[in-house]
Amino acid sequence: MGAAVAFGSVAVVGGWLWTLRRTRRAAASSVSDAKAKRGGPAQRRTARGEPYEVSYFARKHRISAAEARAIIKQAGPDRKAANRLASERAK
């Protein structure tokens, strides 16, 4: 009798943990800035609020971070427009 109760409680706790893990994974995958979601529309946009985006853009065009922020702000989220503005400023 005791073994049946123990087995049942283990099954209940295991099911609860499985459900909890699954819902957390689903919530994490719905984040719009997930680094696992690459390419497509996310690749064509520049996130001005993300420090790694600004530092990458500044390194790529050999400009300061302040200049990179200004260019990205002027161009908006369009990466092609931001690259075009940075190359025009370099000339």
What are the tokens at 85? 């503005």
Is 41 in contact with 77 (CB distance < 8 Å)?
no
- Residue 33 falls within a domain, yes or no? no
Q: Is the dihedral of CA 82, 44, 53, 60 positive or negative?
A: negative
Q: Domain count for the chain, please give it.
A: 1
Q: How far apart are the first and last CA of the chain?
A: 83
Domain that holds residue 69: 2-25+41-90
Read off the pLDDT of residues 49-77 as tens digits, 9 standing for 90 and up. 778 888 999 999 999 999 999 998 898 88
- Residue 54 falls within a domain, yes or no? yes
Q: What is the pLDDT of residue 7?
A: 62
Read off the pLDDT of residues 10-39 as tens digits, 9 standing for 90 and up. 677 777 777 777 776 655 554 555 666 666
